[in-house]
Each structure stands twice: as C-alpha cells, then as structure tokens.
Amino acid sequence: MKFARLENLIGSFSLNKLENTTILVIGIGGVGGYVVEGLVRSGICKIILVDYDKVDITNFNRQLIALDDNIDRYKVECFSERIENINKKCRVLTYTLKINNDNIKEIFKEKIDYVVDAVDDIRAKESIINYCIENNINFISSMGTGNRFDPSKLIITTLDKTYNDPLARIMRNKFDKKVQKQITVCTSIELPNKVLDKTIIGSNAFVPSSAGLLIASYIIRKLIS
C-alpha cells in the first residue's frame, strides 16, 4: 500500500479523512509546487490547481516540474501528470487563469476544505484572502521567500505578527489589524539578502521548497488534529 507508512503514523481514520479532503492550491511555482507534492504524498485525493503560467528556463533552480521536457508547457498540465504518477486515485481539477475579482468565483464551485495562496501578485492575494474570509473558508497565504537563504527562518504565524518580510508589509497595509489576525501566513523572519541585480528576485532550491512543505505539513496537521 502506497500510504502504509503514513497510516502507521496517523491511523486509518485520519488517512481516510485526508482521502476525502479537497484542497485548492493557487500558484504552483517554487512554493506552491512543493505544497502540492506534500499534500498528494500525504494521501489527499482531490486537489484543484490554479496557475496561468508555463514552465520557463528561469524556474530550473527551484521548481519541481522544471525539466527540459516541460519547457513552455502549462504548469497545471505538468503537475496533473505528475500527480497521476504518484497517486492515480487523486482527482485533479485544473484552471489555467490568473486570479482576479471577476473570475475568482469560478474556481470555488467545488466544496473546498482548505485553500493555499501561493501567488506573488498583490491584487490576486488580496482577492483570495478576502474571498476566503468572506466565505469562511480555511486558508493559508505564502509571503515572500525571494532573496532568502536560510529555510530555518521560515515560520507560520498571522499577518499582524510578520516582520522582515517586504511582501507581508505590503499585505498588512491592505487589511486592518483585526483582519490581519485572521490571516494565517508562512513567512520568513530572515532579512532579505542583497542581490547583484536588484531588478531580479534572487532564489534557490531550498527556501521556497521548505516553505511549501511547511505549509503542506501545517494543513495536514490541522485536518487530522
């Protein structure tokens, strides 16, 4: 059995619960891709993937699906194939679109148990967070992992408690203090490192991936607690 060792850790009741859980992951790049990997390898059997982007050569230093054979293919298509190779029982729904206030309802047609916001677009993040809060849907939002080098500095907290994170600072300005306390985030407390070219966000193989796996772990623990 593929998940026998996981079942030995969490029990058959919890594993069955995970198999009947639906997760929506918006943005499947450096962070979101590892969220998907962690969830699928934890027995989640229904997952909704949203990403408008294609695999690019600049993705090779940090993204699971960045392979020569996948260049210029849609990320949702590549991940759908990967998931099938991991667990054929997992049902995958895909949307190749960029989230905004006009189309966000389209991806929430299904009953969703948890949402992962792993996009880097400010307006999209704001739309996702607002929709989840207004509709009482559990969610976690990934903040910045760029220009960081130490995965041990990643934490899960609420938006109001973030610091040393430029993206989180921008997001704090979008919500009042009361709402910030309702927004669970994955953030790095490491000060961003200086980069050679300030027009490009520096990245590596281990901080975004660690953030993704930390988020996946957080969701799984919440679901079976």
Domain boundaries, the chain: 4-224
Which residue carries 């969490």 as its tokens?
A: 10
Interatomic CA distance for residues 120 and 196, integer angstroms:
21
pLDDT attached to residue 1: 82
Interatomic CA distance for residues 150 and 154, integer angstroms:
8
CATH code given to domain 4-224: 3.40.50.720
Interatomic CA distance for residues 47 and 112, integer angstroms:
9
pTM: 0.97
182 and 223 Cβ atoms separated by less than 8 Å:
no
- Mean pLDDT score of the chain: 97
| Beta-ladder partners of 46 | 22, 91
pLDDT attached to residue 211: 98
pLDDT attached to residue 173: 97
- Residues of the chain falling short of pLDDT 50: none
223 and 17 Cβ atoms separated by less than 8 Å:
yes
pLDDT attached to residue 29: 97
pLDDT attached to residue 30: 97
Q: Give the tokens for residue 102.
A: 């006009």
